[in-house]
Structure 1
Amino acid sequence: MTIRPWMAAGVTSLIGIFGIGYLAATTYLVLRDDLIGGTIARQARMQHEYEDRITALRAQVDRVTSRQLLDQQIVEEKVDKLLQQQLELASRSGRLGTLAENAEPPTGGDAAALPEAEPLAYGDRAEAPGGIKAIEEIMGIAAKKAVVPARALALGYAPQAQSNGQGETISDRTDRIFSKVTLSLKDVERDQMAHVLQLTSKAQTTSEAIRTIVERTGVVLPAPKAVASSTAAASPDGTAVGGPYIEPQSHDDFERSLATLDSALVGLGETRNAARKLPLESPAPASDVTSSFGNRLDPFLGRLALHAGIDFRAATGTRIRSTAAGTVTTAGHAGGYGNMIEIDHGNGVSTRYAHLASILVHVGDRVETDQVIAQSGSTGRSTGPHLHYEVRLNGLAVDPMRFLRAGTRLAGYLN
């Protein structure tokens, strides 16, 4: 067999290939365990690193969630506090309006009218940027802060201080809105306090003015029960009471102011009612006064005599009216008075209407102010048709003009 060169090269190549394969297989069998172990170790290290990362992310998520929940709780507490303050102010406004209804602001004349209890502008304040309407915006901000996107949490990112594009974070904006709302409610509270103090001052001033004008007539009005009860501690039956001093339960300035206003308004109402019982009206509004109160020449004797009342020019049949509410104590002929009516108005005050042509009421009748009670005439010791009108205080005659002038001055306070 002839061996050619290409055959020798082929055989050599096959032997080389088998040798290399044998060496590779032997090397793989020798090093296989080490390679597998290294790969497993590397995979274990990567798994531990991922687990550590996940644990760190979970811890960070827990911290962020806790912080967000705490922020939300704080915001909700602030909102609850503001809403409670708003409800309290609204309640105060309602109570203030109820009290002010008793003020009965006078009109006309030169009297200083009591201010009406105008509504304290909750609506305008609520719609304002810093008003109660902003609470909804605050709650919206809190909800946004409480919801953190899952993708951001997975990346370990929590937007704690988002900016609104003007360098102001959401937290700063929330605090600013809270400050505005709080200041707005404080302004309402101050307005209420000022309104209460103004009403109290006006009520006290009006009451004092009424009492001053009435006292010029000689009548002393009884002290209002509301004022008396606030200055003296007594039991319902009038007996004295005592005991150790204990601080009042409420230290709220507004409550004390309301109590003072209530006392002042009740006192004003009692003063007005007492003044309305006085004979302040004219018995013959369309008639002129022809003879005044005091000493004058007696038309029958021609010498000085006390004229215990005033005379009104009134033709026979002129309607005579009661000058105040009261009870008829006399209705009939009474000597020189002729036909006379006497009305008891209480508090020691009574009025007499004399020389009447006809009497329209009876003893015991209850008459009202401005009620027609008789017709004028010229009965008794009289020289012609007219009305003789007297006012008596504890049985003594006083000048009726005092009461007529007081009625003119009190018109603005009592109507």
Structure 2
Amino acid sequence: MNATGQSAVFGKRKEPHTVIIAHGDEIRHFTVRPWMAAVIGSAFAAVAIGYLLATSYLVLRDDLIGAATARQARMQQAYEDRISALRSQVDRITSRQLLDQQLMETKVSELLERQTQLSQRHGRLDSVIERAEKEVGAKLPDAAPAPQQKPDVRAEIGAPADGGAATVSLASLGAADTKPFSLWSTRTDIKADDSSADRADKLFVAINQSLRSIENEQLDRVSRLADTAYENADAIKDALASAGLPVDSNFGKDETDVGGPLIPLDKAAIFDSKVKELDEALDALDHLKSEARRLPLANPAPGHVVTSPFGVRTDPILGTAALHSGMDFRAPRGMPARTTAAGVVTRAGWAGGYGRMVEIDHGNGFATRYGHLSKILVAVGQKLKAGDEVGETGSSGRSTGPHLHYEVRHNGEAVNPLRFLAVGKKVQKYL
């Protein structure tokens, strides 16, 4: 009996919860199962949590929006500050580039102007130096040559000719020593880590040094030529004066009583002054050469022995003391007798004791005579140059054998030809 009661208890089924709804005669019931309760509870919990979150968001939204707005404002301000700093930096770089460009354009213009001046000077010096070397008679070492064509300095340093932004590339600077002209063959100490401005400055310095060197060489060359011309002129003047021969006393005279304020000259004025000085020196030398060439300074019989000098001697025919008005040179019959200076033939024929004689007027009262000729080859009035043949030696007239009788006369008076021959030896290298 007990067993039967226990089985009834343990075997009893638990009934599910049932919800009964009565409305009038209608009765409805719902069975609530555990999973439905869990779902409904979860839904209510989710709604509650969502409500709480929405309420919290609505409460804290203003604070979040304010914080986000403040953070965005700070970021925007930082960006604007950075942009302003970059703009300022760009403006500084642009201003510096403009200044560098203007400075570079100025330097390029100066270099081009100086180079043009050097080229013009070189062209001007060609004729002057050619004349100087001809007059002086000694070729001086060549100075630095002028450029065959004007190199483009702008292209060399990277500055466009249209005035755009100037850029200096390392390749263009490093290639400066490949130019054939010495102006561009100057090596510089440009380094790879130098800035563009530094490389440009070093290149400009190198080019300026080359231009200055060429200018100094040109001035030095002109000065040396002028000094040499003055020295030659002084040598000719001193030789003529020492022999008592006429020379322009006012020519080349030093004027020491002078004065005035000091006015410094620039390079162009110095160059013009030096060229003018060279012209004056060449004029002086040319004048003295012309004066010397008009004098009978050459030897009428070079390489032949003087058999009878000028002065008192024993007459070869009478054996008594007599004045010998010229010099006798031993010469075989038929040897050419040549004039010792340019002049005009005033006598050509038989002249007593001279035999066949030629007299030449050289101007300024100077004349020469060539006596005892066997043949006369010129006529009266004929113009001769120095070295022209006037006749052939012989023994005509009052002579004891073939020789050349040579006389120098000044204002009709016989003078010692040896004095002229000695001066001729001194000045021959200058003429």
Q: TM-score, normalised by structure 1?
A: 0.74
Equivalent position SS for 1:413: coil
More deviation in 33-42 or 331-340?
33-42
1:322 Cα deviation after fit: 1.4
Which whole-Å CA distance do the structure 2 matches of 1:196 and 1:58 have between them? 57
Match of 2:235 in 1: 209
Q: Does 1:200 align with 2:220?
A: no
Equivalent residues in 2 for 1:8-157 (5 A)? Answer: 8-21=37-50, 46-47=75-76, 49-104=78-133, 114-120=138-144, 136=156, 143-144=167-168
Larger displacement relative to structure 2 (364-373 or 47-56): 47-56
Q: Percent identity?
A: 47
Match of 2:214 in 1: 188
Q: CA deviation at 1:398?
A: 0.8
Q: Which amino acid aligns with 2:406?
A: Y
Instruction: Determine the C-alpha separation between the residues in 2 that align with 1:358 and 1:11.
Output: 165
Question: Does the Cα contact within 8 Å between 1:355 and 1:378 map onto a contact in 2?
Answer: yes
Matched, 1:326 2:355: no
Asked if structure 2 preserves the Cα contact closer than 8 Å seen for 1:293 and 1:400, the reply is: yes
Whole-angstrom CA distance in 1 between matches of 2:425 and 2:36: 153
Shift of 1:318: 2.9
SS of 2:167's equivalent?
helix
Does the C-alpha gap of structure 1 residues 210 and 28 become closer, same or farther in structure 2, counting only changes over 3 Å?
A: same
Write the letter of the residue equivalent to 1:305: A
User: Which of 178, 198, 204 is matched with 1:178 structurally?
Assistant: 204
Say if 2:347 and 2:380, in contact at 8 Å, map to a contact too.
yes
Partner of 1:355: 372
Task: Give the stretch that moved more between structures: 8-17 or 36-45.
Answer: 36-45
In the alignment, which of 366, 375, 381 is matched to residue 383 of structure 2? 366
- Distance between the aligned counterparts of 1:7 and 1:410, measured in 2? 146
Q: Return the offset for 1:283.
A: 2.6
Aligned to 1:143, what secondary structure does the other structure show?
coil
The code of the aligned residue for 1:17 comes to A
Shift of 1:9: 3.4
Deviations 1:259-286 (A, max 9, x none): 2122112211222222122222233335
- The one-letter code matched in structure 2 to 1:339 is R
In structure 1, C-alpha distance between the alignment counterparts of 2:384 and 2:168, rounded to whole Å: 74
Tell me how large the CA RMSD over aligned residues is.
4.0
Q: Provide the C-alpha distance between the structure 2 equivalents of 1:71 and 1:219, rounded to a whole number of angstroms.
A: 69
Distance 1:308 1:221, change over 3 A: same
Higher relative contact order (CA 8 A, sep 6+): 1
The more displaced of 342-351 and 194-203 is 194-203
Contact 1:323–1:369 (CA<8 Å) still a contact in 2?
A: yes
Whether 1:395 aligns to 2:418 is no
Shift of 1:115: 4.8
When residues 253 and 164 of structure 1 are mapped into structure 2, their CA distance, relative to the original with a 3 A threshold, is closer
CA contact (8 A) 2:330 2:404 kept: yes
> CA separation in 2, counterparts of 1:301 and 1:76?
95
- How far, CA to CA, are the matches of 1:83 and 1:223 in structure 2? 47
TM-aligned CA distance change 1:336 to 1:13, over 3 Å? same
Question: Could you list the runs of 5+ residues in structure 2 that have no partner in the other structure?
Answer: 1-28, 170-189
Q: 1:202 to 1:170 in 2, by over 3 A?
A: same
Please name the residue that 2:11 is paired with. Answer: none
Please give the secondary structure, in 1, of the residue aligned with 2:430: helix
- 1:284–1:312: 8 Å Cα contact kept in structure 2? yes
How far, CA to CA, are the matches of 1:223 and 1:68 in structure 2?
Answer: 66
Q: Which runs of 5+ in 1 are unaligned?
A: 108-112, 127-131, 146-162, 232-244
Matched letter for residue 278 of structure 1:
L
